[in-house]
């Protein structure tokens, strides 16, 4: 592509670039081709421009030449000034070096003068130190000489002065000469201490082998030494505390310890004082607490009258606290009366303690605070010991054989109507309670259950004298005051309330009696008062426990009035009223362990709790209104504990029965081996188990509680069998016969509930096992025809025991589909009474 730039433009563009130091702005000029003619033209243009610039520079130089000459002249003048300043500076440096040399000479001279002055001062100090050392040596010589002459006080004073002087020697302390003096000082001090200690040992002579101690008032060496002077010397030697402690130990091991180890034996000791000597001798017979305190008093009085007054406090601090503690633990605690018969003798002990405390306070001996605290706490300590003794007595009750039993009787008067359920149309008293129960496990009520008992005047039959026991309540047992007594519950879990002896609803009683033909249609409604009583078996524990409580309260009453009301333990009377609650709390906390050793232990425990509650209630009723003893809460607690124990036992027995019946596996395949054998074994074992329980509880529980408890267990078995048989959707003829036979094994248990009335034996099973009639009907249904079942429903009492759908399900399981079955079911539904 041809360039658009003319050759004339290129030189001027190059010159412009050189002058402005820029790059050509036009791409045409930058990319133009430059030939030789253009290059020459460009060089020529640049040369012309350079010459022009030179001309301009020359012109400018001529214009500023005068100013430049002035600047050069001034510069030369500045250089001359600088040279003069440098010369002046060098002179100053030379002068400074001369001054430094002069100052060094002055300092050297000063140092020499100071050294001479220090040497002069040292010489003076050395002279003074040598004079002090000479004086110290003289003091040590004097001290040694005084010590040799038994002038211990003077020797000690000189020695102390020498030590004080040595402390002022300062830097000379580490010199050999001072070390020699220090060793000599220590040796002299040791010598003086040994002499003083020897004087002490001559003042306080201890002979452990013969049990003798001598305390002198003064000793004689070359000079006479009073005891007070020896104490002062020991104090100055800082060994007084040590020697006093050692003597306190010697006195204790020689006199006090053998005395305190005395007892009611021939090795008892007596304190004998003869002038300055105190010793112990074998008295040949026992020593009591009163005599011991008298001997201790004499020993302390001996110390007070013979030891220097300046060390009495030190000695008391070493002896009295330990002595007081050992007197308390070894003698006073054991001598404290636990029965009121011993209070008078214990009062003499307290009087001796008062005398001893008064003596220690009078002479100002410290260390008796522990004894004073014990004296102030006598009521509290006596109460604690009495409480511990009583608790031990309760623990000892368990050593009584639980098998040792007795029959007790509870009598109660009640007003009833002639048409009450406990009376018959012929005025013949029943020996059973109407307190049966509704065993529907899904709808049991929480009632306080209390049975009625046998009228004493209208007894009849072999069980006429056996009444019904006050049985546990479903509602009680969870609100007892266990925590207030012990801080824990009676058991890990409360028994199921359904396991308490139940109450038969009033509306059910009538039907039961009518079924058994026992109600008179013309019973009168006249009111009459009857005596009810019950008999049941208890152990020896309730009577023993009540006896202990009676004794405690009797003691409290005696401390409240009479001669003992002013005794030292009288303030403890209020605390005695809390002991019964504690005893009963302990009984509840520990009884289960001991009663479990007997097969019928839980029922014995229930009976014992019942008996204890009755006795406490009777005791409360006999107390005056002003009495401090209130056992209402305790009665509730012990009754609740008994009820829970009973309930736990019932639940345990029911669990066993359910487990045994579980072996039948719901009675399915009851005709097929090996299931048939399992079903038979399960029912047989269950029946045997109830008979075993019957044997265990017979004669233990009151008759009413016994039959109700047994009926409850039987109801558990029959309820489970009813439910499992009704759950079978198809029952063959062979299975029906087998189930009927198995039900028959259970029905034989009615023999356990036969009761004799006026020479006639009656089956009372339905009264105590509420689903018994239903179970009987079920057994009959298994062997009955459709016509019989329909008759039972329409003309008998099957509808009182079964729901209509239950009967329909059984018919559908037992009989194949047919017009006859449909008509029977329709008839049953039509005539349903429910």
pLDDT per residue as tens digits for the range 516-541: 434 334 444 466 778 878 899 999 88
Is residue 394 within 8 Å of 545, Cβ to Cβ?
Answer: yes
pLDDT in tens, 246-297: 999 999 999 999 888 877 555 788 899 998 999 998 877 778 888 889 999 9
Considering only residues 181 and 428, tell me which one the structure prediction assigns the higher pLDDT: 181
Decide if 320 contacts 367 (C-beta within 8 A): yes
Q: How confident is the model at residue 467 (pLDDT cuts 50, 70, 90)?
A: very low
Average pLDDT over residues 17-25: 70
Tell me which of 44-58, 245-259, 682-696 is least confident.
44-58
Task: Give the CA distances from residue 115 to residues 103, 104, 108, 109, 171, in Å, rounded to whole numbers and listed in that order.
Answer: 18, 16, 11, 10, 19
The C-alpha atoms of residue 815 and residue 462 are separated, in whole angstroms, by 47
**What does the alpha-carbon distance between residue 318 and residue 312 come to, in Å, rounded to a whole number?**
10
pLDDT score of 487 more than 50 = no
Strands 224-226 and 527-539: unpaired
Q: How confident is the model at residue 57 (pLDDT cuts 50, 70, 90)?
A: confident
| pLDDT in the model for residue 661 | 93
Provide the strand spans (E) within 21-141.
none
How many other C-beta atoms are found inside a 10 Å radius of the C-beta of residue 545?
Answer: 23
C-alpha 141/C-alpha 158 separation (Å) is: 9
Q: What is the pLDDT of residue 812?
A: 92
pLDDT > 80? residue 110? yes
**Is 743:782 a contact under the CB 8 Å cutoff?**
yes
pLDDT above 80: residue 84: yes
Residue 695's pLDDT is what?
93
Q: Give the pLDDT confidence score for residue 696 in this predicted structure.
A: 93
The number of C-alpha atoms within 13 Å of 538 and in the hemisphere containing its C-beta is: 23
**Mean pLDDT (whole number) for 137-149:** 78
Instruction: Quote the pLDDT of residue 508.
Output: 35
Least confident of 202-211, 218-227, 429-438, 581-590: 429-438
Residue 66: the pLDDT is 75
Backbone conformation region of residue 623, classed left if phi is above 0, alpha if psi is from -120 to 50, else beta:
beta
CB 318 within 8 A of CB 245: yes
pLDDT value, residue 401: 60
pLDDT of residue 748: 94
Give the pair of three-digit tokens for residue 566.
């002013």
pLDDT band at 49 (very low <50, low <70, confident <90, very high): confident
pLDDT at res. 687: 95
The C-alpha atoms of residue 438 and residue 436 are separated, in whole angstroms, by 7
Q: How many other C-beta atoms are found inside a 10 Å radius of the C-beta of residue 124? A: 10
Q: How many CB atoms lie within 10 A of CB 639?
A: 24
Quickly count: other Cβ atoms within 10 Å of residue 533's Cβ: 20
What's the CA gap between 800 and 375, in Å, rounded? 77
Q: Which residue has the higher pLDDT, 469 or 606?
A: 606
The DSSP code for 748 is G
**Does pLDDT of 502 surpass 50?**
no
Q: What is the dihedral of CA 265, 267, 268, 269, to 10 degrees?
A: 170
pLDDT of 494 > 50? The answer is no
> Residue 528: helix, strand or coil by DSSP?
strand
Phi and psi of 816, rounded to 5°? -70, 160
- Give the SS3 label for residue 490: coil
Q: What are phi and psi of 828, to 5 degrees?
A: -65, -45
Burial 799-832 (b: 16+ CB within 10 A, else e): bebbebebbbbbbebbbeeeeebeebbeebeeee
Given this model, what pLDDT does residue 517 score?
39
CA-nearest of 325, 319, 320, 331 to 286 is 331
Window from 1-5, 45-49, 94-98, 817-821 with minimum mean pLDDT: 1-5
pLDDT for 1: 41
Q: What is the CA radius of gyration of the chain?
A: 60
Confidence of residue 172 (pLDDT cuts 50, 70, 90): low
pLDDT (0 to 100) of residue 682? 94
Over the stretch 643-675, which tens digit does the pLDDT of each residue have?
999 999 999 999 999 999 999 898 888 888 888
Query: What pLDDT is attached to residue 650?
Result: 95
Chain centroid, CA 672 distance in Å: 60
Sign of torsion over alpha carbons 40, 41, 46, 52:
positive
Distance CA 310, CA 804 (A): 108
Which of 676, 657, 656 is CA-nearest to residue 667?
Answer: 676
Residue 278 bridge partners (DSSP): 213, 273
Q: How does pLDDT run across 538-561, given as a tens digit for each residue?
A: 998 898 898 888 888 888 877 877
Contact 600, 692 (CB under 8 A): no
Range among 18-27, 398-407, 479-488, 491-500 rated most confident: 398-407
Cis amide bond preceding 674, omega within 30: yes
Token couple for 128 = 């003074």
* N- to C-terminal Cα separation, the chain: 126
- As a whole number, mean pLDDT of residues 680-698 equals 94
- Model pLDDT for residues 197-224, shown as the tens digit of each residue: 888 999 999 998 888 999 998 888 777 7
What per-residue confidence (pLDDT) applies to 5?
A: 57
Q: Give the whole-angstrom CA distance, residue 573 versus residue 380.
A: 10
Residue 519 contacts residue 512 (beta carbons within 8 Å): no
Is residue 36 scored above 60 in pLDDT?
yes
Tell me which DSSP letter residue 173 carries.
Answer: G
Residue 698 CA, chain-centre distance (Å), reads 43
Whether the pLDDT of residue 758 is over 80: the answer is no
Q: What pLDDT, on the 0 to 100 scale, is given for residue 439?
A: 34
Q: Return the pLDDT at 7.
A: 63
* Residue 340 pLDDT grade (very low, low, confident, very high; cuts 50, 70, 90): confident
Average pLDDT value over all residues in the chain: 78
Lowest-confidence range among 156-170, 228-242, 460-474, 578-592? 460-474
**Is residue 446 predicted with pLDDT exceeding 70?**
no
pLDDT, tens digit, 9 for 90 and up, residues 711-749: 999 999 999 999 999 999 899 999 999 999 999 999 999
Handedness of CA 232, 236, 237, 239 (dihedral sign): positive
Residues whose CB is less than 8 angstroms from the CB of residue 695 and which lie 6 or more positions away in sequence, other chains included: none
- pLDDT in the model for residue 205: 92
Length of the chain: 834
Report strand pairing: 269-274 vs 527-539: unpaired
């Amino acid at each position: 592509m041809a360039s658009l730039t003319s050759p004339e433009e290129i030189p001027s563009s190059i010159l412009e670039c050189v002058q402005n130091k820029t790059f050509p702005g036009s791409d045409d000029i930058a990319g133009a081709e430059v030939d030789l003619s253009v290059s020459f033209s460009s060089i020529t243009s640049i040369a012309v421009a350079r010459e022009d610039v030179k001309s301009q520079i020359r012109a400018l130089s001529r214009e500023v030449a005068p100013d430049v000459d002035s600047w050069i002249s001034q510069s030369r003048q500045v250089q001359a000034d600088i040279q003069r300043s440098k010369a002046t500076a060098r002179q100053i440096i030379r002068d400074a070096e001369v001054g430094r040399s002069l100052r060094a000479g002055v300092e050297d001279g000063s140092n020499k003068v100071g050294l001479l002055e220090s040497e002069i001062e040292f010489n003076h100090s050395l002279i003074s130190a040598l004079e002090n050392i000479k004086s110290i040596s003289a003091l040590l010589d004097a001290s040694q000489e005084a010590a040799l002459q038994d002038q211990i006080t003077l020797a000690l004073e000189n020695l102390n002065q020498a030590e004080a002087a040595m402390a002022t020697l300062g830097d000379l302390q580490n010199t050999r000469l001072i070390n020699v003096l220090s060793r000599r000082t220590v040796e002299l001090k040791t010598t003086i201490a040994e002499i003083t200690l020897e004087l002490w040992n001559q003042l306080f002579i201890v002979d452990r082998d013969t049990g003798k101690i001598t305390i002198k008032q003064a000793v004689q060496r070359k000079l006479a030494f009073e005891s007070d002077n020896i104490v002062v010397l020991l104090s100055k030697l800082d060994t007084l505390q040590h020697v006093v402690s050692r003597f306190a130990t010697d006195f204790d091991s020689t006199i006090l310890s053998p005395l305190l180890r005395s007892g009611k034996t021939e090795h008892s000791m007596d304190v004998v004082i003869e002038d300055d000597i105190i010793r112990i001798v074998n008295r040949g017979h026992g020593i009591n607490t009163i005599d011991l305190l008298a001997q201790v008093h004499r020993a302390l009085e001996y110390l007070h009258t013979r030891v220097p007054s300046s060390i009495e406090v030190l000695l008391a601090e070493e002896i009295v606290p330990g002595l007081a503690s050992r007197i308390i633990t070894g003698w006073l605690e054991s001598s404290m009366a636990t029965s009121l018969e011993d209070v008078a003798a214990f009062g003499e002990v307290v009087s001796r303690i008062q005398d001893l405390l008064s003596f220690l306070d009078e002479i100002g001996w410290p260390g008796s605070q522990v004894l004073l605290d014990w004296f102030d706490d006598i009521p509290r300590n006596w109460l604690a010991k009495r409480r511990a003794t009583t608790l031990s007595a309760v623990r000892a009750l368990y050593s009584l054989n639980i098998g040792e039993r007795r029959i007790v009787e509870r009598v109660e008067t009640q007003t009833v109507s002639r048409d009450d359920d406990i009376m018959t149309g012929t005025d013949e008293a029943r020996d059973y309670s109407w307190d049966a129960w509704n065993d529907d496990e899904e709808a049991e009520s929480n009632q306080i259950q209390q049975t009625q008992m046998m009228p004493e005047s209208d007894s009849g039959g072999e069980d006429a004298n056996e009444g019904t026991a006050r049985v546990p309540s479903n509602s009680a047992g969870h609100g007892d005051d266990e925590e207030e007594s012990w801080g824990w519950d009676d058991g890990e879990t409360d028994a199921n309330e359904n396991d308490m002896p139940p109450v038969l609803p009033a509306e059910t009683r009538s039907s039961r009696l009518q079924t058994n033909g026992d109600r008179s249609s013309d019973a009168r409604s006249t009111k009459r008062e009857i005596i009810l009583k019950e008999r049941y078996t208890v152990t020896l524990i309730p009577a023993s426990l009540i006896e202990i409580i009676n004794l405690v309260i009797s003691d409290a009453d005696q401390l409240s009035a009479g001669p003992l009301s002013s005794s030292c333990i009288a303030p403890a009377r209020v605390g005695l009223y809390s002991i019964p609650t504690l005893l009963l709390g302990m009984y509840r906390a520990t009884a289960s362990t001991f009663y479990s050793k007997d097969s019928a232990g839980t029922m014995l425990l229930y009976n014992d709790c019942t008996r204890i509650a009755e006795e406490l209630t009777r005791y409360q009723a006999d107390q005056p209104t002003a009495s401090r003893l209130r056992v209402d809460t305790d009665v509730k607690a012990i009754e609740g504990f008994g009820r829970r124990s009973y309930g736990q036992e019932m639940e345990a027995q029911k669990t066993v029965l359910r487990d045994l019946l579980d072996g039948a596996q719901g009675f399915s395949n009851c005709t097929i081996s090996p299931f048939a054998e399992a079903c038979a074994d399960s029912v047989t074992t269950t029946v045997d188990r109830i008979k075993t329980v019957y044997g265990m509880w017979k004669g233990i529980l009151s008759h009413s509680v016994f039959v109700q408890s047994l009926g409850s267990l039987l109801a558990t078995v029959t309820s489970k069998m009813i439910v499992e048989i009704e759950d079978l959707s198809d029952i063959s003829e062979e299975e029906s016969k087998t189930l009927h036979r198995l039900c028959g094994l259970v029905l034989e248990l009615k023999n356990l509930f036969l009761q004799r009335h006026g020479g006639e034996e009656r089956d009372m099973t339905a009264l105590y096992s509420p689903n018994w009639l239903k179970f009987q009907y079920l057994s009959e249904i298994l062997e009955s025809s459709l016509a019989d079942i329909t008759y039972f429903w329409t003309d008998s009492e099957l509808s009182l025991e079964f729901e209509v759908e239950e009967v329909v399900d059984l018919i559908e399981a037992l009989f194949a589909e047919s017009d006859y079955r449909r008509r029977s079911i329709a008839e049953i539904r039509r005539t349903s009474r429910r």
